[in-house]
Structure 1
Amino acid sequence: MTITPLQGPVPARIQAEMKTAAQEMEATFLAEMLKSAGVGKTPSEFGGGAGEDQFGSFLRLEQARAMARAGGIGLGEAIFNAMKERGA
């Protein structure tokens, strides 16, 4: 499958979709970094047990999404700009 670049300026609707996709990619990256940093890890004493282990990834992902919406680390913006440049 060949992807052909758009000719001319990228329409606003497509830009909005690209921005959302870039922000979600940044959130996924941040969630993995939070996991590596030990955020959401069940403490050995007074932990939530198996339930906390199972749902910790959801908490990390939502925290990462909130971070990305608040500006994140700039990765989402860089991805968006790259996609926009490639699409134009």
Structure 2
Amino acid sequence: MEIPAIAPDARTARNTALQNAARELETTFLAEMLKAAKLGEPPEGWGGGAGEEHFASFLRQEQARQLVAGGGIGLSEILFNALKEVDNE
């Protein structure tokens, strides 16, 4: 059985979608690592109220997004290649 070729524009759009998904996965991974490292937690004795953890998570997510935008740790490239390989099957 022959698989029909994907048009170049469709392939480019698909690769862009896969790259975006890989970057989001790396962002989520890094945000969890920043959380595990307790980045952004207030020092003892300083309470920020009930919403502090929610806002701290937004800050960690954005910090992780900036890390990925700056090159990240290379996880998104590995994820992209894996996603692309699965997508081409």
> Runs ≥4 in structure 1, deviation > 6 angstroms?
none
| Aligned pairs for 1:15-30 within 5 A | 15-30=15-30
- Between 1:49-58 and 1:25-34, the stretch displaced more is 49-58
Whole-Å separation in 2 of the counterparts to 1:26 and 1:80 = 10
Give the TM-score taking structure 2 as reference length. Answer: 0.80
1:86 aligned residue: 86
Q: Which runs of 5+ in 1 are unaligned?
A: 1-5
Aligned residues: 83
Q: Which runs of 5+ in 2 are unaligned?
A: none
CA RMSD of aligned residues (A): 2.0
Using the TM superposition, give the Cα deviation of residue 43 of structure 1 relative to its aligned residue in structure 2, in angstroms: 1.5
Whole-Å separation in 2 of the counterparts to 1:42 and 1:81 = 38
| Aligned pairs for 1:2-41 within 5 A | 8=5, 11-41=11-41
Using the TM superposition, give the Cα deviation of residue 69 of structure 1 relative to its aligned residue in structure 2, in angstroms: 1.2
Matched, 1:44 2:44: yes
Using the TM superposition, give the Cα deviation of residue 52 of structure 1 relative to its aligned residue in structure 2, in angstroms: 2.6
Flag the structure with larger Rg: 2
Using the TM superposition, give the Cα deviation of residue 73 of structure 1 relative to its aligned residue in structure 2, in angstroms: 0.6
1:71 aligned residue: 71
* Conserved 8 A contact 1:31-1:61: yes
Whole-Å separation in 1 of the counterparts to 2:33 and 2:71 = 16
Using the TM superposition, give the Cα deviation of residue 7 of structure 1 relative to its aligned residue in structure 2, in angstroms: 5.5
Whole-Å separation in 2 of the counterparts to 1:69 and 1:14 = 20
Matched, 1:61 2:61: yes
